[in-house]
Amino acid sequence: MILAMLITFGVMMLVAALVALYSRDIVTAIVASGVVSLLASVLYVLFGAPDVAMTEAAIGSALTTVVFLFAWSRIRSIASRDDSTNGEVR
């Protein structure tokens, strides 16, 4: 049971990681990387480390994602200020 969960979550993590690296949309990528962390925190619980799980969930998945998104929105705002021609963002 635990093993099955572990493997399932593991595969999901890898898929999410691939999505984070290869998705077309940056926001999707950021969210996917958050999902990787979230899944990791689940695994931590399975491995008897609830403290780490909480931390990973709070910091790794939540806060980091927020920071990513803020940074991205800042880049977007700089790009949109530039009459959106010479900046290359995607």
Partner 1 sequence: MMTQILTVLAFLLMALGVWGLMSRRHLIRIIIGFSLLDTGVHLLLVAFGYRSGGTAPILSDGIGVSGLVSGAVDPIPSALVLTAIVIGLAVTALMLSFAVRMYARTRSIYIDKNKELKW
Partner 2 sequence: MFKRLFSLVLVVALAAAFFPLFATIGDRGDVSPLAESYLADAPDALGSANLVTSVIVTYRGLDTLGEVTVLFAASAGVSLVFSRLGSSSDGRRPVQNHAPSELVVTGAGLLLPLIFVFGVFIFVHGHLTPGGGFQGGVVIASGVLLALLAGTLTELSHGMLSVLEMLSGAGYVAVGLLGLWLAGGFLDPRFLPTGEIGSLFSGGAIPVIYSLVGIKVGAELSGVIDAMRRRRVVE
- Chain contacts with partner 2 (rule: CB under 8 A): 49-55, 58-59, 62-63, 66-67, 70-71, 74, 77, 80-81
29 Cβ contact partners less than 8 Å away, ≥ 6 residues apart: 19, 20, 21, 23
The Cα–Cα gap between 36 and 24 comes to 17
Q: Which residues contact 45 (CB under 8 A, 6 or more apart)?
A: 53
Residue of 1, 8, 42, 56 that binds partner 1 (CB under 8 A)? 56
CA–CA dist 7, 3 (Å, integer): 6
Which of partner 2, partner 1, none is residue 13 near (CB under 5 to 8 Å by kind)? partner 1
Residues contributing to the site for partner 1 (CB under 8 A) = 2-3, 6-7, 10, 13-14, 17-18, 20-21, 26, 29-30, 33, 36-37, 40, 43-44, 47-52, 55-56, 59-60, 63-64, 67-68, 70-72, 74-75, 78-79, 82, 86-90
